[in-house]
């Protein structure tokens, strides 16, 4: 482990106490909250004062002084993460300017910052969004920061568009207002649509020429109305068709659950012309293997 990213005074005190009790010196970095609007979904905005994350950037210097004076803590870096699925470079650079001002203030107090962890958040194209030019973003950081070590966490940008969620159309039904395609996938498998109202492109894998063309809502078999994967998609569907929900590589399986007693799906890795199952589908038995009857 490189260092602890500290989010509060209380957390710093706990780390210090544990380090003291074990006779060690704990390496720490403090996560600062720059109060920058990332202009993303409010659930994944993490850099505003209204968000729970980090230490107010105006108060961080006092916490750094406290850590610097401790015999059981070693100041290593500074951490800042303002949100996820960000498609404009401006909020990143705004936050970086505030971070660099803080670094200068720390240097003036004899507190050296060895690395800057600027977090992640670089968005991907789900629905035709104009995304960030990665090279231009990196160049802008290097020009501002100089020789200091930089850490970035672009997880979504790396794996988001590499993942595809496959589901089967089980039943079709239509009423006077809506057309529903009941698929075998559900919100427990891919939570983003129902949780964030997120968009995933839907493409047919198999398609029958005699399929019914309509504006379909793709819904799962879970017992609540919030169980949907897509809404109002123009598709020609027949029961038994397979559909691909694109850009499911980030926050897909990691946000899945066993809600409604549903085993989680298998994962298949594809490389060129080859493929391999890298995670087996859970069984119903897997769901209760760790449960125990209460003995009276």
Active site residues: 223
What is the C-alpha to C-alpha distance for residues 159 and 194, in angstroms, rounded to an integer?
Answer: 21
| CA neighbor of 165 nearest in space, from 258, 242, 75, 74 | 242
Query: N- to C-terminal Cα distance for the chain?
Result: 44
Assess contact for 131 and 124: CB atoms under 8 A.
yes
Q: Is 93 helix (H, G, I), strand (E, B) or coil?
A: helix
Contacts of 264 by beta carbon, 8 Å cutoff, 6+ apart:
188, 189, 253, 256, 257, 258, 281, 282
Q: Is 222 exposed, middle or buried (0-12, 13-18, 19+ CB in 10 A)?
A: middle
The single-letter DSSP state of residue 47 is S
Q: Is 226 helix (H, G, I), strand (E, B) or coil?
A: coil
């Amino acid at each position: 482990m490189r260092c602890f990213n500290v989010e509060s005074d209380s957390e710093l005190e706990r780390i210090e106490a544990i380090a003291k009790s074990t006779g060690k010196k704990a390496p720490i970095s403090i996560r600062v909250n720059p109060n920058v609007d990332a202009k993303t979904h409010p659930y994944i905005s993490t850099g505003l004062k209204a968000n729970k994350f980090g230490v107010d950037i105006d108060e961080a210097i006092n916490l750094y002084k406290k850590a610097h004076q401790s015999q059981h803590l070693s100041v290593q870096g500074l951490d800042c993460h303002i949100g996820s699925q960000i498609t404009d470079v401006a909020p990143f650079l705004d936050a970086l300017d505030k971070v660099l001002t803080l670094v200068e203030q720390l240097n003036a107090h004899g507190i050296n910052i060895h690395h800057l962890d600027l977090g992640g958040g670089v968005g991907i194209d789900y629905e035709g969004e104009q995304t960030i030019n990665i090279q231009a973003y990196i160049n802008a950081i290097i020009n501002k920061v100089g020789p200091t070590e930089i850490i970035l966490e672009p997880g979504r940008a790396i794996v988001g568009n590499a993942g595809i969620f496959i589901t089967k159309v089980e039943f079709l039904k239509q009423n006077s207002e809506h057309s529903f395609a009941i698929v075998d996938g559900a919100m427990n498998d891919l939570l983003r649509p129902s949780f964030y109202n997120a968009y995933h492109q839907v493409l047919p894998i198999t398609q029958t020429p005699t399929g019914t063309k309509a504006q379909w809502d793709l819904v799962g078999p879970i017992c609540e109305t919030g169980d949907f994967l897509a809404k109002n998609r123009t598709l020609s569907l027949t029961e038994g068709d397979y559909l691909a929900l694109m850009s499911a590589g980030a926050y897909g399986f990691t946000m899945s659950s066993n809600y409604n007693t549903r085993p989680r799906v298998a994962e298949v890795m594809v490389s060129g012309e080859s493929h391999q199952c890298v995670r087996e589908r859970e069984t119903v038995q897997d769901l209760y293997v760790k449960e125990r009857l209460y003995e009276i």
